[in-house]
Amino acid sequence: MGLVNGVSYGWSNITLKMPGLDLEGQSIDYDDELEKELVYGSGSMPRGYGRGNYKGNCKISFLKEDFDDFAAYCKSQGVGIYSLQIPKVIVSYAKDGERIRNDVINRLTPSKVTNKGAQGDKSLTVEVEFLVYGQIIRDGLKAL
């Protein structure tokens, strides 16, 4: 389960870094998958499986002011938000006294931006979805 002396990882243990830009996110979600399906011959039992395409996704929620920094970075690079190509996002996390672990999300580009605000909110948030066209590497472990 990853517990040491009853302490688990928490959000305060995570930092986000992009080349040339350090951002403070409210949340990050990332996942990947490899298409697989059973292959049949004669009879009803599978003979094996076939592999398809690899796919990765990433979503980061920012406070509006942090998203404004992200937008200013795009402007300084001379590209629109959806034209930005990010070589990697590093998600670092560690428990007190342990080594820092890094998950690396390689090659991504923004694909959707959602602004959120509701009555009673104390802050405005912006959610950015990214298309991952590289590979997600979890603490040195490659997906493929």
CA of residue 69 relative to chain centroid, distance: 19
Q: What is the mean pLDDT of residues 7-12?
A: 58
Q: Identity (one letter) of the amino acid at 40?
A: Y
- Identify the DSSP state of 75: H
> Residue 30: which of 117, 81, 91 has the closest Cα?
91
pLDDT in tens, 72-109: 989 998 999 999 998 888 888 877 778 888 899 999 99
Q: Strand, helix or coil at 137?
A: strand
Q: Most distant CA pair in the chain: distance in Å?
A: 62
Tell me the domains of the chain and their CATH numbers.
Answer: 11-138 (2.30.110)
Query: What b/e sequence results for 71-99 when a residue is b if at least 16 CB atoms lie within 10 Å of its CB, and e otherwise?
Result: eebbeeeeeebeebebeebebebebeeee
> Residue 55: which of 32, 28, 87 has the closest Cα?
32
Q: CA 57 → CA 89, 106, 111, 121, distances in Å?
A: 12, 11, 10, 28
Average pLDDT, the chain: 86
pLDDT in tens, 42-78: 999 999 999 999 999 999 999 999 999 999 989 998 9
